[in-house]
Amino acid sequence: MLTLKNIEVVYDDVILVLKGLSLTVPSGQIVALLGSNGAGKSTTLKAISGLLRSEEGEVTDGTIEFDGQRIEKLEPEQIVRRGIIQVMEGRRVFEDLTVDENLTMGGYIRRDRKGIKRDRSLVFDYFPRLRERRAQIAGYLSGGEQQMLAIGRALMARPKMILLDEPSLGLAPLLVQEIFRIIGKINAEEKATMLLVEQNANVALGIAHFGYIMENGRIVLDGDPAKLKSNEDVREFYLGGGEKKSYRAVKSYRRRKRWLS
């Protein structure tokens, strides 16, 4: 459904952030894009959704294809209408609107009232807390409830693809498990295609069908979750397991990543 080929992104005409990045997201699957802070994960999502321009960024090379058509030069509203919705890092709900009003805003490009009503009920089925708080001002929700609302608002657009940016950010471990359980359920029941950017590799690989490891603007490793979880370097640097390495070994690992990229 989505293919990025040798994408380069430059900020402020001088700062090269993505350096020939390529990845694919098959229809109906969850693909995880993992990496440390500053690797370029969020920039990748903004390149897809067209939001780079608001931050003085630009795709300067490569192509982004969605459903067989190039989209890297389209405006964000055009990309939304083609079926790509991004759930931003930090939730970004409309804090002065109610839960119900936030969901209404999520379906603003639609005209099928019966479908909107059906999907609102669907959101409440996935997130019962939102039904209980539908008249509450969104700014007074907890962090976990705001994340639920952000995902629910995305579902109201009936998207072909959802871009999820750090859904675990700032949430307690039990809430993280609940959010990711629901994300997996939405994928399974609605056949929703998702590109998931996440630092918490354990939970991301727990629901993903395929994963990419990103460092310094490049993909350095990819594979199915079982392969990535069994990789010694991934276990050490992203999963918190494996044998402890000396500083010399860490330097060697970083050199290997540069060569791989």
Q: Is residue 122 part of a domain?
A: yes
State the amino acid at position 246 in one-letter form. S
Determine the Cα angle at 150 with ends 203 and 91, to 5°: 75
Which of 46, 54, 150 lies closest to 95 in space, CA to CA? 150
Other Cβ atoms within 10 Å of 32 Cβ, number: 25
**Of the candidate ranges 98-102, 112-116, 195-199, 236-240, the one whose mean pLDDT is the lowest:** 236-240
Q: Which of the listed residues 158, 173, 202 is the one where a domain comes to its end? A: 158
Other Cβ atoms closer than 10 A to 46: 22
Q: Same domain, yes or no, for 73 and 175?
A: yes
pLDDT exceeding 70 applies to what percent of the chain? 92
Is the same domain home to 169 and 255? yes
Three-class SS state of 86: strand
3-class state of residue 94 by DSSP = coil
Average pLDDT for 188-214: 94
Write down the residue that tokens 């705001």 correspond to: 146
* Domain harbouring 241, CATH code: 3.40.50.300
Domains in the chain, number? 2
| Per-residue model confidence (pLDDT) at position 253 | 52
Residue 22 phi, psi dihedral angles, 5° rounding: -135, 135
Q: Are residues 42 and 107 both part of a single domain?
A: no
Q: What pLDDT does 36 receive?
A: 86
Angle ∠(12,16,20) on CA atoms, nearest 5: 135
Q: Is the Cβ–Cβ distance between 53 and 257 less than 8 Å?
A: no
31/25 Cα distance (integer angstroms): 6
- The answer on 53 and 16 residing in a single domain is yes
Tell me the pTM. 0.89
> If residue 248 lies in a helix (H) or strand (E), which one and from where to where?
helix 247-260
pLDDT at 241 over 80: no
What pLDDT does 254 receive?
Answer: 54
* Mean of all residue pLDDT scores within the chain: 91
CB atoms within 10 A of CB 120: 21
Give the residues across from 215 on adjacent strands: 218
Q: Does residue 248 share a domain with residue 196? A: yes
225 part of a folded domain: yes
Average pLDDT value for residue range 198-203: 90
DSSP 240: S
Same domain, 30 and 76: yes
Last residue of a domain, one of 139, 158, 177: 158
